[in-house]
Structure 1
């Protein structure tokens, strides 16, 4: 935060100078609000930069992929195809039995909806980190006429600086000399999966226990 003072050596309460667009990328020209006229600008207080008070948790995680054996039913084309990576399956007989050659029997639950969710992540208090800023004050809104260059402002304490006589304060640039964010430990340490897979009716497949290749060849 920047405060402009009418008295020398920051001897009065001062007025807070709002920096419009200060959240934008550092180093750009910031127009002060209000612009401080020269007869009301004898000194300036620069408060130290502050570290972020908290860490933002990562975006919501998605549940891990399902593992197991899956089946996909496709329309019958009239022939078996070579180079198929899987088992060839057919529907069981009316009595539920599997015909010879298709004795590998599998039962699958039709997946209706994946209702699983992951518990949100939370962060502990930030620790460590270093922030050192250089603040450049200008008499114009385009930041071309520099008044003061205040370098190496850390996070320890606010500092008072004198201003050139009869010079207004209209623009500011803030450049981070060191910008090393702290770290936060997750609490809890892991995200848990809640919910279940909602399944439909059971489908039975009779599958070949070995690769079957059959073509439309006249014998």
Structure 2
């Protein structure tokens, strides 16, 4: 507090008469108005590692074609095949397989169930100082 103009006079408006202590201490009479301040903080906050479960719902669709020649020029048959349904295709009877071609038509990468990413740690005040003031 600033020095009073007269010894024993109350402090000017907006000021308090206080005693400073290192640490977090209990205040004694007549200085019972306790204020604790901290010099720093220990911050151990963070996040747990993120992870992803097994992929689910992935699929792809291809256009499968067969040809009677070796240059994929004379098409014999063509059909859409999906990874979501069983399929067994055969070349039509009496036609020799000369070449085949598979083209990707659609891909759905699916998804996974995320986990982790939870907050961990805490923010703790460090280096307390106590001001005990007259009310």
> Fold match, TM over 0.5?
no
The structure that has the greater radius of gyration is 2
Higher relative contact order, structure no. (Cα contacts within 8 Å, ≥ 6 residues apart): 2
TM-score, L = length of structure 2:
0.39
Larger strand share, 1 or 2: 2
